[in-house]
Amino acid sequence: MKKPPAKVVGNCRLQEEAVEGVGCIFLDPPRQSLGEKLIFLHGGAFTSGPVICHWGMLSRVCEKTGIPAVMVDYGLVPENPFPDGLNDVIGVYRALRREGSADRIYLMGDSSGGGLALSAVLALKDGKEKLPEKLGLLSPWLDLTLSHSEIENIRQYDQLLTREDLVEAGRVYADGHDPAYYLLSPINGDFIGIPPTLVLVGTHEIFLCDCRRFKEKAISAGAALTYQEWEGMFHDWMALTPAMREANQAVDVIVDFLNRPAGQPQAPAAS
SS3 75: coil
Rounded CA gap, 219 and 89, in Å? 26
- Tell me if residue 231 is catalytic: no
Which residues have C-beta within 8 Å of that of residue 71, sequence separation ≥ 6?
1, 24, 25, 27, 40, 42, 50, 54, 55, 58
Q: In the chain, count of helices (H) and strands (E)?
A: 7, 9
Number of neighbours of residue 188 by Cβ within 10 angstroms: 18
Edge-to-edge strand order for the sheet containing 69-72? 8-9, 12-19, 22-28, 69-72, 36-41, 104-110, 134-138, 197-202, 225-230
Diameter over CA atoms, the chain: 47
Q: Which of 59, 111, 112, 139 is catalytic?
A: 111
Of 257, 256, 152, 143, give the one whose Cα is nearest residue 189.
143
Start-to-end CA span in the chain (Å): 36
Residue 18 backbone zone (phi > 0: left; psi -120 to 50: alpha; other: beta): beta
CA distances from 103 to 53, 80, 100, 255 (A): 28, 30, 5, 18
Burial 207-221 (b: 16+ CB within 10 A, else e): bbbbbbbbbebbeee
Q: Which of 63, 112, 139, 205 is catalytic?
A: 205
- Tell me if residue 205 is catalytic: yes
Could you give the residue numbers annotated as active site?
A: 111, 205
